[in-house]
């Protein structure tokens, strides 16, 4: 297989559906995503938008039973050989997950084994992927715990998860994710269960590790301010579809989709003093009975018959182009 260079991850036309009693649940419908080396890409949207399912599906962390997945997910691993994650064997993916692709999830108490000391849990992955030997693994784990800001790392090596605070447990998860020097870090709501002070510490730690190790990061979050402050580019998803994509500056200065604008207007942290916070009326549609045309039209105050009947193509926002790196809104009438 030829060596190559290019995006760390290139996802094209990703479709993820689940066969359920009430019909076919379309969780992700035609997702395109390109992640460049050293980039932080945010995926934002309400619950049920397809943010987490998309990344968990391409890495085969959701059971295949009753799941249908199509499209391509080209990943450029540490050996610079491009591989389509969707066509790889389970064994092949197992060699990449935890090694070339690290994961940080939102609830470390459900991700960490409560019966194992945290140092042993980190060591287990390093030994499995050949990132350490039995003679040097403890030294390397202690060094990792120190790097992610855990005090008395040699002592904490022997701690159980319940003996650590929420912030310390998340630091352990980051150490585990980075233990085999991955190229890609997928952070799925990594700070949801943390208070705002610890949240900032964890996010800044991730950015520091990105710079030191040359990581690329996909950050999945419902928290729009977090995405705007820490991500280079952002994908806004709704009901399995991408509504808008552009740089964080693009979205702040000129949101092009009515849904993105509604997210800004409904967010208390982003509101300006004296402005009214407006909730988005209605609810996300059931994914087994999706509306025709634009997915957002039942909740959109600007919807027309065209929006109700025709799926919108990508449209340039604010006088830009329609290339993959441009500011795009999937709307018939971009703002």
Q: Note the pLDDT tens digit of each residue in 136-148.
A: 999 999 999 999 9
d(CA 266, CA 269): 9
Do 155 and 270 share a domain, yes or no? no
Task: Tell me the pLDDT tens digit for each residue of 174-227.
Answer: 999 999 999 999 999 998 878 888 999 999 999 999 999 999 999 999 888 899
d(CA 317, CA 52): 26
Q: What is the pLDDT of residue 2?
A: 45
Q: What is the pLDDT of residue 3?
A: 47
Given a cut of 50, the residues of the chain with pLDDT beneath it are 1-3
Exposed / middle / buried, residue 214 (Cβ in 10 Å: 0-12, 13-18, 19+): exposed
Contact partners, residue 74, CB within 8 Å, separation at least 6: 7, 9, 10, 11, 12, 82, 83, 84, 85
Do 213 and 257 share a domain, yes or no? no
- End-of-domain residue from the set 231, 251, 284: 231
Domain-embedded: residue 55: yes
- As for how many domains the chain has, the answer is 2
d(CA 73, CA 33): 9
Q: What is the pLDDT of residue 274?
A: 56
Cα–Cα separations (whole angstroms), residue 168 to 4, 178, 201, 237? 38, 15, 11, 31
Do 268 and 193 share a domain, yes or no? no
Domain-embedded: residue 335: no
Do 244 and 208 share a domain, yes or no? no
Domain-embedded: residue 3: no
Confirm if 263 and 280 have CB atoms less than 8 A apart. Answer: yes
Do 272 and 150 share a domain, yes or no? no
d(CA 126, CA 182): 12
Q: What is the pLDDT of residue 1?
A: 41
- End-of-domain residue from the set 182, 197, 231: 231
Identify each DSSP E strand in the chain by its residue range.
9-20, 23-35, 40-44, 67-76, 82-84, 101-105, 184-188, 216-221, 233-238, 241-247, 314-316, 328-330
pTM: 0.92
Query: The CATH number of the domain where 24 resides is what?
Result: 3.40.50.300
Q: What is the pLDDT of residue 231?
A: 96
Domain-embedded: residue 166: yes
Domain-embedded: residue 65: yes
Do 247 and 227 share a domain, yes or no? no
**DSSP per position, 200-217:** HHHHHHHHHHHHHHT-EE
Q: What is the pLDDT of residue 301?
A: 92
Do 267 and 138 share a domain, yes or no? no
Do 61 and 153 share a domain, yes or no? yes
Q: In the numeric block, which tokens belong to residue 244?
A: 């808008």
Q: The domain containing residue 272 runs over which residues?
A: 237-330
- End-of-domain residue from the set 197, 231, 265: 231
Q: Where are the alpha helices (DSSP H) in 59-215?
A: 90-96, 108-111, 118-128, 137-147, 153-156, 166-178, 196-213
Do 211 and 170 share a domain, yes or no? yes
């Amino acid at each position: 297989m030829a060596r190559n260079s290019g995006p760390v991850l290139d996802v094209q036309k990703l479709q993820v559906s689940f066969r359920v009693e009430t019909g076919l649940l379309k969780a992700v419908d035609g997702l395109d995503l390109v992640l460049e080396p050293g980039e932080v890409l945010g995926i934002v949207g309400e619950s049920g938008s397809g943010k987490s399912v998309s990344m968990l599906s391409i890495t085969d962390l959701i059971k295949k039973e009753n799941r249908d997945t199509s499209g391509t997910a080209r990943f450029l691993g540490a050996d610079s050989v491009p591989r389509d994650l969707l066509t790889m064997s389970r064994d092949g993916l197992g060699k990449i997950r935890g090694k070339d692709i690290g994961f940080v999830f939102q609830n470390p108490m459900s991700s960490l084994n409560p019966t194992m000391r945290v140092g042993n849990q980190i060591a287990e992955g390093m030994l499995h992927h050949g990132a350490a030997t039995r003679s040097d693994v403890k030294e390397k784990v202690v060094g990792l715990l120190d790097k992610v800001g855990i005090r008395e790392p040699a002592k904490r090596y022997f701690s159980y998860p319940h003996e650590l605070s929420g912030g310390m447990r998340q630091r352990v998860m980051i150490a585990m994710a980075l233990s085999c020097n991955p190229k890609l870090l997928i952070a799925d709501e990594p700070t949801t269960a943390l208070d705002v002070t610890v949240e900032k510490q964890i996010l800044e730690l991730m950015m520091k590790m990105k710079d030191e190790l040359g990581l690329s990061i996909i950050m999945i979050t419902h928290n729009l301010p977090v995405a705007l402050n820490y991500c280079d580019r952002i994908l806004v998803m709704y009901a399995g579809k991408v509504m808008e994509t552009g740089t964080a500056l693009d979205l702040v200065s000129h949101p092009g989709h009515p849904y993105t604008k509604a997210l800004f207007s409904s967010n208390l942290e982003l509101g300006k003093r004296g402005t009214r916070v407006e909730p988005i009326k209605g609810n996300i549609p059931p994914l087994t009975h999706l509306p025709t045309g634009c997915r957002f039209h039942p909740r959109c105050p600007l919807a027309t018959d065209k929006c109700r009947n025709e799926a919108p193509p990508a449209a340039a926002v604010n006088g830009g182009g329609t290339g993959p790196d441009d500011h795009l809104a999937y709307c018939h009438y971009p703002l």
